[in-house]
A and B are shown apart, each in its own frame.
Chain A
Amino acid sequence: MQTSKYSSPPVDQVGIEDRIARITARSIKSSMKVEGLKMALSMIDLTTLEGADTVGKVTQLCTKAQHLCDEFPELPNVAAICVYPSMVNVAKQALGESGVKVAAVATAFPSGQSSLEVKLTDTKLALDNGADEIDMVISRGKFLQGECNFVADEIATIKEACGKARLKVILETGELGSLDQVRKASDIAIYNGADFIKTSTGKIPKAATLHVTCVMLEAIRDYYLTTGKMIAMKPAGGISKSKLALHYLMLVKEVLGDKWLTNEWFRFGASSLANDVLLQYRKAQVGGYQSPDYFSID
């Protein structure tokens, strides 16, 4: 599918709404909820992407990643820390042998409005600093201009540069205009080397939704049915409550199946989700409603 003719199937938005309504009507209780909360924690890419990021801030976040809640030793660590390329070495050092990965946003994040040369340099910087995963953005301007080949080639080039690092391709779905476009962008990313497809940068108001995620999961499923190859998914932005996270897991379970329910194949890009999950987890373990004052903020 390296040509300019990307023939993605149409998406019916109201149909997606119906599907999501059924998912959110699911009741996730007791043992399922506890398992879901643990799973959600293990899938978090704990994120800080600010102009104001400092060594101190990133180090604190890395501490948080390894000490989510020492009261419950059975809890997993988060999957990764997600930072700018310049902070990769800081994070790498702080995380040590914890197993928590370091993901770096690259390719002129968040707008992607730069040359391929700059984007490659950006990516190489992150990789040289030790990033395990690269979160790239697609060129939405080119995509909206209909230059799908340009977008495809860019993804393929960055993928080549990534070597062993896993590549997450951020579609910035909130800028694409329709679910049909989300599907098309997903297919372009998947067919050109994305290991993950990711919804959003978190830098515009319209971030991940269950609806957009559903469309992207369908693209992943269709690719899997055609090729037998698994692609991972990462919704990012706007997911700060456990209940919503659990709905995402339910969506993954129903659209893709249990095989995708590990942090190898599914991630949440989030900064404040972890504490809400911990709040809910503690409630499930010790009973009673909890206060945020008992959970560390980093």
Chain B
Amino acid sequence: MATKNKNTFEFAPAPESTGHIQLRDQYDLFIGGKWIKPKSGKYFKTINPATEKQIATVADASEKDVDLAVKAARKAFKGWSQLPARERGKYLFRLARLIQEKARELAVIESLDGGKPIRESRDIDIPLAAAHFFYHAGWADKLDYAFPNRSVEPLGVAGQIIPWNFPLLMAAWKLAPALACGNTVVLKPAETTPLTALKLAEIIEEAGFPEGVVNIVTGAGKTGAAIVNHPDVNKIAFTGSTEVGKLIQRATAASDKKLTLELGGKAANIIFEDAAINQAVEGVINGIYFNQGHVCCAGSRLFVQESVFDEVTTKLKARIENLVVGDPLDKNTDIGAINSKGQLETINKYLEIGKDEGLEMFQSSCAVPKKGFWCKPTIFTGAAQSNRIVQEEIFGPVLAVQTFRTISEVVQKANNTPYGLSAGVWTDKGSKIFNLTSQLRAGVIWANTFNKFDPTSPFGGYKESGFGREGGIHGLEAYLKFND
């Protein structure tokens, strides 16, 4: 027998350096191309959820500040919308390039401010954000081809409110089509993750955008409400909770504001016995634990055909033991920090509900840091459609596993939800894939894959997951007025 090794092949810390990033201690509002102090003089803290340490303070925009921002956007609209479309596109191309140049800095700030693993911000969020600008840049002078026999013009001032789960990426999803279509924008990042949007404001300055084309106002719900209710805004685009989405639909009912909503989800992810089980397991892991499960399209309801239930759950449990939970800046981290204390409390509440309802809970045995907000990857088995953790969006790394026997049963159960954002299906049989993908009521269907995104691919939901699409040719409609 040759020499035996001790098993000491364990991860050593591999933190991404924060040395090259430039952050101010305090951020004002970016209005009309200038950095302006909030009228109220109020600022709020943004913290690193992994350490609970303050990173910077950020202006709290009031109704008056929002009004100023809308006025600046209105003032800029004429010039921006009348700019030759090709020139408009060139600004966006330039922006895409600058984001690529500053990708590393943006990735580190994204992970610092939001808690997501650097692997994801580096490999997914930031590159995709740049890709979104790049894709839409090219549309600016080709919009007539997107809508045959229809004349289009920009809407005017777009108010955009984005969530905390993909701060820069969502800013890109919103800004890129709006600007390409000739609108000007007032954008509000989420209060727990404002920093990359503010860095983006700096990049927009650097790119030489005309003043007021993009205005970035920071704040919480009240700031968002001020945008929604502002009479001179022509368009509201919101990504966030279904609850707030409904409020916005009511609030804008009396106006002509065009509205798109990208809201919650409770996606079914379905594994058939004939699937490539090992890849399906990997897809399920990516489907629910990506970005700590803070993903509206997360595959949070897993349906496993009864004949492979034991195999799938055994492999899932083994796999989550391999997931590295901890410092978001460590290059090996798979699951970072929960975005905020409030969100952690929500997740923990659902863990209690799941246990109280008698479900079997399995968590990774990993240790989590003492400071900061953490949730171990969690699997509940023995779930049914009647369980609350199956019905309600948890927005955390929590998977509920149910079994099924037949196609018709699983289709019925998968569609048995007010949501309809995404769904997944795993089977090796082509005709079964098309059967499922056509019967599942959701805007995005991943077959033998999950949680893939691309600027050319329209994203958005059915039913209470909102309306309108973002990305692709279909996403342009949300930012245009049609003269018919």
Contact = CB atoms under 8 A, between A and B. Distances in A.
Whether chain A touches chain B in the assembled complex (some CB pair under 8 Å): yes
A32 B3 contact: no
B282 interface: yes
B378 interface: no
Interface stretch (B70-78, B138-146, B271-279, B397-405): B271-279
B431 interface: no
Interface in B177-202: none
B interface secondary structure, majority: loop
B9 A218 contact: no
Contact of B282 (A9, A10, A19, A76): A19
Contacts of B311: 225
A242 interface: no
A52 interface: no
B483 interface: no
A14 B3 CA distance: 37
A253 B428 CA distance: 27
A282 interface: no
Interface in A71-97: 76-77, 79-80
6 contacts: A12-B276, A99-B2, A218-B278, A225-B315, A257-B318, A264-B2
A18 B282 contact: yes
A26 interface: yes
Contacts of A19: 279, 282
B282 A15 contact: yes
Contact of B279 (A11, A36, A101, A264): A11
Interface in B1-24: 1-5, 7-14
Interface string A249-262: 10001100111011
Interface in A97-133: 99-101
A35 B2 contact: no
A79 B331 contact: no
A38 B5 contact: yes
A19 B280 CA distance: 11
Contacts of A100: 2
Given A14-B449, A25-B119, A25-B123, A261 B276 contact: no
B284 to A, nearest CB: 11
Contact of A35 (B9, B314, B332): B9
Interface string A219-260: 000100100000000000000000000000100011001110
B10 A32 contact: yes
Given A29-B14, A36-B9, 6 more contacts: A18-B279, A19-B279, A25-B123, A26-B332, A100-B2, A262-B4
Contacts of A3: none
A31 interface: yes
Nearest to B274: A10
A264 B4 CA distance: 8
Contact of B9 (A39, A101, A225, A263): A39
A258 B332 CA distance: 17
Given A11-B276, A14-B449, A15-B448, A77 B9 contact: no
B123 A261 contact: no
A24 to B, nearest CB: 11
A77 B1 CA distance: 12
B160 interface: no
Interface string B312-323: 001100100010
B286 A18 contact: yes
B3 to A, nearest CB: 5
Given A9-B278, A254-B322, A32 B9 contact: yes
Contacts of B448: 12, 14-15
Interface in A192-238: 218, 222, 225
A101 B280 CA distance: 39
Contacts of B1: 99, 264
Contacts of A76: 3, 5
A261 to B, nearest CB: 5
A271 interface: no
B12 A32 contact: yes
Interface in B56-113: none
A30 interface: yes
A16 B2 contact: no
A80 B282 CA distance: 34
B2 A101 contact: yes
A261 B449 contact: no
Contact of A16 (B8, B279, B314, B331): B279
A64 interface: no
A131 B322 CA distance: 38
Given A10-B276, A25-B119, A263-B3, A249 B428 contact: no
Contacts of B282: 15, 18-19
Interface string A1-43: 0000000011110111011000001110111110110110010
A99 B1 CA distance: 7
B283 interface: yes
Contact of B331 (A15, A27, A222, A225): A27
Enumerate the 8 nearest inter-chain pairs by beta-carbon distance, A residue then B residue, closest first: A15-B279, A27-B14, A27-B331, A12-B279, A10-B428, A12-B276, A258-B7, A32-B12
Contacts of A26: 331-332
A26 to B, nearest CB: 6
Nearest to A219: B278
Residue from A15, A26, A249 having most chain B Cβ neighbours under 10 A? A15
